[in-house]
Amino acid sequence: MDFTEEQIRSLYRDHMIPAFNFSMPIMVRASGSELWDIQGKRYLDFTMGISVCNLGHCHPRVTQAIAEQAATLMHCSNVFCNINGPRLAKELADASFGGKVFFANSGAEANEGMIKTARLWGTANGGRHEIVCFRSSFHGRTLATLAATRQPKFREGMDPEMPGFREAVFNDLDSVRAAITDQTCAILVEPVQGEGGVFPATVPFLVGLRKLCDEKNLLLLLDEVQTGMGRTGAMFAYQHYPMTPDAISLAKSMGNGIPLAAFEVRKDLADLFQPGITHGSTFGGNPLATAAGLAVMEAFREEKVLENVRKMSQYLQERLQFLHARHSVIRDIRGLGLLLGIEVGDCVADIVKECREKGLLVLTAGKGVLRLLPSLKVTSGEIDEAIAILNQALEKV
Ligand SMILES: *Cc1c(COP(=O)(O)O)cnc(C)c1O
């Protein structure tokens, strides 16, 4: 190691904008569900880079695909075509609702693309531009996605807020009806509010949103940045519900660690875009990122990933119920697939810290919620290890 931990920390403190907490462990290496920090300490990872490295850290299929692509053609810009993007677009469309795809680099960007699509469509359909969003949602950190993110703390000091977004209450159809005006063109919603506290949409809610959109001629946009790509046990979370959206956004785990995002729209909506004018991206869908995306899709076909999510989700929920019975601090356990929340209240930060000290990485969400995002290939042995650590941590708080 060329630099000591102290040197790295002092470089961080002196030269990086403190957008993140720099007292956290410095990670140096990972494999599967395991991560090691600069001190050589091993962690069992139930965060997977916030649902990014979902097939396991340094998945061999993805690592090989990007190594080969990196030695062949990393980038050529969207002025030219490459052989990976169109193939990945077809695979995503075949796995979802047969729409057309635009590739981006992050979740916020994918959502921006969806928001732009809704405005283009609203302009062409009666000159409407408003989008209904939901309290406690999370859609990203750009100015438009921040306006769609109904958590005021993230916008503090950044006024004026981008106009055109109205707020309704998640899982409350009446509040949506009340938020719709003659200016409304779309509804933007997460199938499971992830950052907001792990709240799954109810079936009547999502089906009701679809009906409302059909009645009032609105687009239904689903932010599947966290829930998409198998996290919930279906390839896309909306597939648990008897409805189809008009557009979805994807990011986080699309490249298993390589920045890759996308939004997919109903085929007819794609005609709103004019080449070279309406939308664009320098990096979006470059051959390196889409090589990773193709390797991820191949893993879903070859490695029974969704089957494992469904099996391990059931097992993990059973084990969490065992903790629920033993620890009164647990108020609720909820989620979908391997996106699970444990509501514990104010002691959440202490539990996260205690788990980390004992070698288990977990996240928080919303207010007082522990969020578990294990690898989609997690084993029952790894779940047992995590439960044992959680049990000890819960005993201490
Ligand atoms: C993480 C997340 C985003 C933002 O993704 P970035 O890649 O950080 O821009 C947007 N929506 C949801 C639902 C997310 O979980």
Mean pLDDT, residues 237-259: 98
CB count within 10 Å of CB 128 equals: 21
Task: Clarify whether residues 241 and 263 are in a common domain.
Answer: yes
Does 106 sit in the ligand 1 pocket, CB within 6 Å? yes
Does 233 sit in the ligand 1 pocket, CB within 6 Å? no
**Ligand 1 atom nearest 251 alpha carbon:** 7
**Residues of the domain holding 10:** 5-55+304-395
Is residue 232 predicted with pLDDT exceeding 80? yes
**Ligand 1 atom nearest 108 alpha carbon:** 9
The preferred substitution site among 50, 53, 139 for testing ligand 1, maximizing ligand atoms within 8 Å of CB, is 139
Rounded distance between C-alpha atoms, residue 354 and residue 276, angstroms: 52
What single letter denotes the amino acid at residue 313?
Answer: S
**For ligand 1, atom 10: residue with the closest CA:** 139
39 Cα: distance to centroid of ligand 1 (angstroms): 30
Res. 1 pLDDT band, cuts 50 70 90: low
Angular region, 335: left φ>0, alpha ψ -120 to 50, beta rest: left
* Assigned token pair, 30: 């990972």
Instruction: Tell me which H or E stretch contains 320.
Output: helix 305-326
Tell me the pLDDT tens digit for each residue of 50-90. Answer: 999 999 999 999 999 999 999 999 999 999 999 999 999 99
Q: Assign residue 250 the CATH number of its domain.
A: 3.40.640.10
Nearest to 219 by CA among 107, 87, 126, 343: 126
Tell me the pLDDT tens digit for each residue of 163-180. Answer: 999 999 999 999 999 999
290 Cα: distance to centroid of ligand 1 (angstroms): 19
Task: Clarify whether residues 73 and 164 are in a common domain.
Answer: yes
Q: Angle between the 348-357 and 380-396 helix axes, to the nearest 10 degrees?
A: 120
133 Cα: distance to centroid of ligand 1 (angstroms): 15
261 Cα: distance to centroid of ligand 1 (angstroms): 10
Provide the domain count of the chain.
2
Task: Clarify whether residues 292 and 372 are in a common domain.
Answer: no
Q: What is the rounded average pLDDT for all residues in the chain?
A: 98
Q: Angle between the 287-302 and 85-95 helix axes, to the nearest 10 degrees?
A: 40
Task: Clarify whether residues 351 and 264 are in a common domain.
Answer: no
Task: Clarify whether residues 160 and 294 are in a common domain.
Answer: yes
Does 226 sit in the ligand 1 pocket, CB within 6 Å? yes
Residue 22: the pLDDT is 85
250 Cα: distance to centroid of ligand 1 (angstroms): 9
Instruction: Tell me which H or E stretch contains 109.
Output: helix 107-124
Task: Clarify whether residues 29 and 65 are in a common domain.
Answer: no
Is residue 155 predicted with pLDDT exceeding 90? yes
Q: Considering 258, 273, 302, which residue would you say is the last residue of a domain?
A: 302
CB count within 10 Å of CB 1 equals: 8
For the chain, the C-alpha Rg in angstroms (whole number) is 21
Task: Clarify whether residues 207 and 226 are in a common domain.
Answer: yes
Does 49 sit in the ligand 1 pocket, CB within 6 Å? no
Task: Clarify whether residues 74 and 184 are in a common domain.
Answer: yes
Q: Assign residue 386 the CATH number of its domain.
A: 3.90.1150.10
Q: Considering 282, 302, 322, which residue would you say is the last residue of a domain?
A: 302
Q: Go through the chain and tell me how many residues it has.
A: 397
Q: Considering 302, 329, 346, which residue would you say is the last residue of a domain?
A: 302
Task: Clarify whether residues 177 and 38 are in a common domain.
Answer: no
Rounded distance between C-alpha atoms, residue 254 and residue 52, angstroms: 7
* Assigned token pair, 213: 């959109």
**For ligand 1, atom 15: residue with the closest CA:** 226
Task: Clarify whether residues 370 and 311 are in a common domain.
Answer: yes
Tell me the pLDDT tens digit for each residue of 256-301. Answer: 999 999 999 999 999 999 999 999 999 999 999 999 999 999 999 9
Mean pLDDT, residues 243-252: 98
Is residue 218 predicted with pLDDT exceeding 70? yes
Task: Clarify whether residues 231 and 291 are in a common domain.
Answer: yes
**Ligand 1 atom nearest 109 alpha carbon:** 9
Mean pLDDT, residues 353-378: 98
Task: Clarify whether residues 219 and 194 are in a common domain.
Answer: yes
